Amino acid sequence: MPNDVKLLQILDWDSPRQNALLRDELATGLLQAQAHIAPKFFYDALGSRLFEAITELPEYYPTRTEAAIFRDHLPAIRQALGADFTLIDLGCGSCAKAGKLFHAGILPRRYVAVDISVEFLRDSLQHLKRELPAIDMLGLGLDFTDELQLPDDLPLERRMFFYPGSSIGNFSPPDAGRFLQGLAARMDHSGGLLIGVDLVKDKALLDAAYDDPLGVTAAFNRNLLRHVNARLDANFAVGDWRHVAFYDIDSARIEMHLEARRALTVRWPDAKGSRSRSFADGERVHTENSWKYSPDGFATLLTGAGFTDIQVWTDPPRWFALFFARKAA
């Protein structure tokens, strides 16, 4: 990596302490009555690349729809962000969305890229720095959904948090409100938030976006088991599990699961010897939720979290929304 790009690996997945915490989190989730695995475990190096492939699928409308909103409303977005700001990119992935803003002339004083997949972050930031060497760049490898640790020397003034895509939907609405409150607490009144939000829409459109015919989303979901095996020393057989995804209209959320194709038992070692969890044929492991919002509903969430001066831009069919808001006085 070039000498003028820093990467702070705050989250070291392989440190003994962190590994023990992650193993405990995974084991606890698997042993619940409704077994579950947190979505952050999707994002090992392969999982991050599989998600990038998902964004290219014709059925996965959020990425291209959000890109069109950025393109169509670029002057207004530029005016909202202003100048001489620090852009803090949450869940930056390939850094492609921030890169498009920079190439369009929206240039921050400093770019802080945050992602849980440290090696993927390292490669992405190195590539972006080669394209845009004049921008001061910093990478933070951490689970920002757990605790967002920003460097002490990062100025409080003019912090602009950037959370594109629809990842805010992975939080339940109450948890999303608390997360947004945490962002507001990490900026002063000169700062703001630019965030992408997936909107409520037709069930068939949503179902197709999360269960594509090529099976890329299924591979992304099932790859999680490979990561769990590596992290927990478990013996999940990927072929024993099928991908299940559907939109629950009453809850306004997508649910993703892995469903056992047969009765089976998964085992892993622990300090006392070994643990196991048996699954019946058809029993599921819950791997992700993705809540959808109305524009008014999400604006209300922002207001309750301490934001004001809310602006919203949508595509013509109102499939997706981009919000900008400032911290309330």
pLDDT at 14 over 70: no
CA–CA separation, 19 and 230 (whole Å): 11
Residue ranges making up the domain that contains 40: 34-55+203-291
Contact (Cβ atoms closer than 8 angstroms) between residue 123 and residue 96: no
Q: Are the C-beta atoms of residues 92 and 112 closer than 8 Å to each other?
A: no
5 located within any domain = no
Residue with token string 């948890």 = 175
My answer on whether 172 and 248 are in the same domain is: no
Given a contact cutoff of 8 angstroms between Cβ atoms, the answer to whether 305 and 269 are in contact is no
Looking at the fold, whether 122 and 160 belong to one and the same domain comes out as: yes
Of residues 4 and 84, more confidently modeled: 84
Can you tell me which residue has the tokens 């892993």? 268
pLDDT band of 1, cuts 50, 70, 90 = very low
Cα–Cα distance, 221 to 224 (Å, whole number): 6
Q: State the pLDDT at residue 10.
A: 66
Examine the pLDDT at 20 and tell me if it is beyond 90.
no
Cα 177 from Cα 187, distance rounded (Å): 16
Examine the domain organization and report whether 236 and 286 are in the same domain.
Answer: yes
| Spatial separation of the C-alpha atoms in residues 116 and 90, rounded to whole Å | 10
Closest CA to 200 of 245, 169, 164: 169
| 141 shares a domain with 104 | yes
What pLDDT is recorded for position 243? 98
> pLDDT digits over 49-65, tens only?
999 999 999 999 999 99
Residue 3 domain flag: no
- Whether pLDDT at 142 is above 90: no
Tens of pLDDT, residue by residue over 115-129, are: 988 888 989 999 999
CB atoms within 10 A of CB 109: 13
Report the percentage of the chain scoring pLDDT > 70: 97
To 5 degrees, how large is the angle CA 195–CA 320–CA 57? 105
Give dist(CA 140, CA 6) in Å, integer: 9
Predicted pLDDT of residue 7: 77
Task: With respect to residue 29, please indicate whether it lies within any of the assigned structural domains.
Answer: no
The pLDDT assigned to 113 comes to 95
Place of tokens 């100048």: 83
Per-residue tokens: 176: 């999303």
Whether 21 maps to a domain, the answer reads no
- Do 172 and 316 lie in one domain? The reply is yes
Overall number of domains in the chain: 2
Please state, rounded to an integer, the average pLDDT across all residues of the chain.
94
Based on the domain organization, do 188 and 224 belong to the same domain?
Answer: no
* Averaged pLDDT for residues 294-322: 98
Q: What is the tens place of the pLDDT at every residue in 199-258?
A: 999 999 999 999 999 999 999 999 999 999 999 999 999 999 999 999 999 999 999 999
